Amino acid sequence: MTNLSTEILPMTLEFEQLPPEAILLSQSQINQAIELSSQFKDESKQWQTYLNALSLSAFENWLESRGNSFNINHDECTVLQPRFANVIPTVANLKVGEYKLCLITTGSFIDEQVEISRIVVDLPEYIPHFYVLIEVLEEEETAIIQGFLSYKELSERQQSFNLQPDSDWTYSIPLTWFCNEPDRLLLYLRCLETSAIPLPIIPTNRAENLELAKEELIRILPQLRTKELWETLTWEQATAVLTTPELIDWVYNLQTQIETLQETSLQQHLSDIFQLITQPAINVGRWLWDELDTLAEQTWNLLPNIAPQPVMRSPVEEFTVISSQLQQKGLEIPVQARGAYQDLSLAGVPLRLYAATWYLLSESEPNSWTLLLILGTPALASLPHNLKLRVSDQSGILVEQEVNLELGNTYLFTRVVGNFDEKFLVSVSLGDGVEVTLPTFVFDMSR
């Protein structure tokens, strides 16, 4: 019989113990961060958004672990809104009670400097009461609250040290400026009055500055398809963009969705967006009360009840004819619809534009309204061959109808649907730069 000896080798398990202040992240929070980051094509933005989302979850976990008395408001939190996360590399506009917070996320501390975007330091729309520094340990699925800094302290030191932003619009802040006792932040959030940390007031001349920058922005912004804001714009131009939600939307769509549009089309839509932002609007919701607002009174005329009648009793007989034809094509115009018309003249060509509106009650389109547009001539004659009808909203050019010579159009028509907070811009053109853009259409039934 052979005796076998077994040699048992000592085994050492090596692991790095997490610090006691580490905040655990759940799998659902990690999955949410992945989902938020997946909306970007740029890998660096994907990674930053992923870290920012983990940072937000960790901060909420931290607050909850210290008591449930904090009221957290995400309504304007930038990391949860892809259009803002696309241009703001931090977690801005998070509210805890009456306080605005900005979470500065880092993956690791390589040096003694913390980089903070100029956007959340110099633009009142995004400036917080407190900047909170959070280290995300992504592989360990944890995070650590490293410290905080009030805007008041940052502003004072910025002036004392004449702190200037780098070329990529970031400030390099010494780590020593941050208070490394996070629990003191809890005390401030519970007991300190917000008036102790006054925030700058949003300037009242944003609209004027946007108008001044309009032409240059229409020319330059299409370059952002492949470049960052700081690589393309001056800070003044960037301020106009970053304080205008419609332009933030446009940049996000350009960088994540729009791939095939030519620069001329991009510039055309930009021009429409500036019209939507700056023009006064016609409230078609008032039409349902058989009323015109002050702006519409200048050029529009209300139609009577526009439901089809067995006898043509409408003072605008051509509209009755057209609406009957549309209903035969399957476009239902409900009894509660109301409309108006306006006579136009482009290059000596007489035109008539009808607009009808109603609110939608279907389950598939709740809280929505519709705008029906019909462009014809007063005598139902054939339309000019180069006539176009264009409708835009904040997201893009929705419709661009033009005359089909083979069909011999006597009118162009289109219908668009929007939520109650949406508005539409309508333009009529004859080519060669002959165009008229009408005041924006909105829908509000309040009187």
Is residue 14 very low, low, confident or very high in pLDDT (cuts 50, 70, 90)?
Answer: very low
Q: What is the pTM of this model?
A: 0.77
Q: Which two tokens stand for residue 205?
A: 């001349």
- Please check the confidence at residue 408 and state whether its pLDDT lies above 70: no
Using 50, 70 and 90 to split pLDDT, how confident is the model at 12? very low
What is the C-alpha to C-alpha distance for residues 66 and 46, in angstroms, rounded to an integer?
31
- Residue 140's alpha-carbon distances to 15, 24, 26, 27, 163, in angstroms, are 11, 9, 11, 12, 35
- Structural contact between residues 288 and 357, judged by C-beta atoms closer than 8 angstroms: yes
pLDDT over threshold 50, residue 8: no
- 184 phi, psi to nearest 5 deg: -65, -30
- Give the span between the Cα atoms of 30 and 26, in whole angstroms: 6
- Residue 312 pLDDT level (bands cut at 50, 70, 90): very low
The 3 state secondary structure assigned to 120-143 is HHHCCCCCCCEEEEEEEECCCCEE
Q: What is the mean pLDDT of residues 43-63?
A: 95
Q: Which helix (H) or strand (E) holds 14?
A: none
Tell me the average pLDDT of the chain: 86
Rounded-to-integer distance, Cα 391 and Cα 144, Å: 50
pLDDT of residue 15: 45
- The CA distance from 359 to 348, in Å, is 36
Closest CA to 352 of 315, 388, 378: 378
Predicted pLDDT of residue 3: 46
Lowest mean pLDDT among 22-26, 142-146, 304-308, 421-425: 304-308
pLDDT-derived band at 110 (thresholds 50, 70, 90) equals low
- 71/141 Cα distance (integer angstroms): 25
Helix 263-278 with 206-220: angle, nearest 10 deg: 170
Quote the tokens at residue 94: 């998070």
Please give the sequence-ordered ranges of beta strands (E in DSSP) within 193-316, or none if there are none: 281-283, 301-302
Note the pLDDT tens digit of each residue in 58-80. 999 999 988 767 899 999 999 99
**What is the pLDDT averaged over residues 412-432?**
89
How many degrees, rounded to 5, is the angle at CA 151 between CA 149 and CA 155?
Answer: 110
Distance CA 358, CA 417 (A): 10
Dist. CA 273–CA 218, nearest whole Å: 10
Contact 403, 385 (CB under 8 A): yes
Question: By mean pLDDT, which of 285-289, 364-368, 410-414, 432-436 is the weakest?
Answer: 364-368
Amino acid 368 reads S
User: Distance from CA of residue 372 to its chain's centroid?
Assistant: 26
Q: What percent of the chain has pLDDT over 90?
A: 57
Using a 10 angstrom Cβ sphere, with 0-12 exposed, 13-18 middle and 19 or more buried, the burial of residue 13 is: exposed
pLDDT at 45 over 80: yes
Closest CA to 409 of 382, 430, 384: 382
SS3 at position 50: helix
Give the pLDDT confidence score for residue 109 in this predicted structure: 65
How many Cβ atoms sit within 10 Å of the Cβ of residue 227? 12
Task: Say if residues 110 and 175 touch (Cβ distance below 8 Å).
Answer: no
* Residue % of the chain over a pLDDT of 70: 88
Give CA–CA dist 352/340, Å, rounded.
Answer: 11
Does position 403 have pLDDT exceeding 90, yes or no?
A: no
Count CA atoms closer than 13 A to 137's CA, side-chain side: 16
pLDDT of residue 17: 66
What's the CA gap between 89 and 321, in Å, rounded? 56
Which domains, and CATH codes, for the chain? Answer: 23-196 (3.40.1350), 206-278 (no CATH), 281-442 (no CATH)
- What would the pLDDT profile of 316-370 be if each residue is shown by its tens digit? 566 777 777 777 777 888 888 888 999 888 888 888 899 999 888 776 667 789 9
pLDDT band per the 50, 70, 90 thresholds, residue 303: confident
What is the tens place of the pLDDT at every residue in 274-293? 888 888 899 999 998 888 99
- Cβ atoms within 10 Å of 44's Cβ, excluding its own: 10
Please check the confidence at residue 310 and state whether its pLDDT lies above 70: no
**For residue 431, what pLDDT is reported?**
75
pLDDT band, very low/low/confident/very high, at 231 (cuts 50, 70, 90): very high
Binning pLDDT at 50, 70 and 90, where does residue 49 land? very high
Q: Are 257 and 249 in contact (CB under 8 A)?
A: no
Residue bearing tokens 């924006």: 440
265, pLDDT greater than 70: yes
Given a cut of 90, whether residue 424 has pLDDT beyond it is yes
pLDDT reading at 229 higher than 50: yes
pLDDT tens-digit readout, 192-211: 999 999 999 999 999 889 98
